[in-house]
């Protein structure tokens, strides 16, 4: 009898949502993408991993699934980098097509420390990463709804 070995480590981390009504407008999809990127980021940070590949998943009105990938030079667990990698993929796909589902994830996972990642980024992205880490600390202390990015609050780009 052969022993089955289970691997407790995730191969990827993702989040998705299905809409009550199809959405065609990019400015409606982007804040949803940001919220999903934050969910993926929270899980990755909690598991101490980062992903080298960002994956965007879209399901059309006629149930066709589109997946698009972006490979990163360095793995990330930061919502900012996940979103900024997936947003151009979404923009290329959101050309009037009606979507009923959107999802985002990271794959090709490796062990990571987010604080160390923030230190290696260019100054603009590093500033966003440090702001994200500060928001994580506030959420840890006061709850998930204590602070939010502008993209979520006004339903568009920040």
Q: pLDDT 10s per residue in the chain (158 long)? A: 656 555 566 799 999 999 999 999 999 999 999 999 999 999 999 899 999 999 999 999 999 999 999 999 999 999 999 999 999 999 999 999 999 999 999 999 999 876 666 666 666 666 777 777 777 777 777 877 766 766 665 554 44
**Closest C-alpha to 43, from 86, 107, 128:** 107
Read off the DSSP letter of residue 6: P
- Is 78 inside any structural domain? yes
CA–CA separation, 89 vs 75, rounded Å? 18
Structural domain contains residue 55: yes
Report yes or no on 63 lying in a domain.
yes
CATH number of the domain to which 105 belongs: 3.30.1490.100
Domain count, the chain: 1
Range of the domain at 51: 12-112
Residue 91 and residue 134 in contact, taking contact as beta carbons nearer than 8 Å: no
Round the CA-based radius of gyration of the chain to a whole number and report it: 16
Q: Within a domain: residue 75? A: yes
Give the global pTM.
0.79
């Amino acid at each position: 009898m052969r022993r089955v070995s289970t691997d407790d480590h995730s191969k990827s981390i993702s989040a998705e949502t299905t809409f009550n009504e199809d959405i065609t407008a990019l400015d409606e999809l982007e804040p949803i993408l940001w919220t999903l990127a934050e969910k993926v980021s929270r899980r990755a940070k909690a598991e101490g991993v980062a992903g080298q590949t960002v994956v965007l998943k879209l399901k059309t009105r006629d149930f066709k699934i589109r997946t698009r990938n972006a490979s990163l030079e360095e793995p990330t667990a930061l919502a900012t980098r996940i979103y900024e990698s997936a947003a151009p993929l979404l923009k290329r796909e959101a050309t009037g097509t009606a979507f009923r589902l959107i999802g985002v994830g990271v794959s090709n996972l490796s062990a990571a420390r987010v604080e160390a990642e923030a230190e290696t980024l260019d100054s603009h992205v590093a500033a966003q990463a440090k702001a994200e880490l500060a928001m994580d600390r506030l959420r840890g202390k006061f709850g998930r709804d204590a602070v939010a990015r502008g993209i979520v609050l006004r339903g568009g780009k920040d």
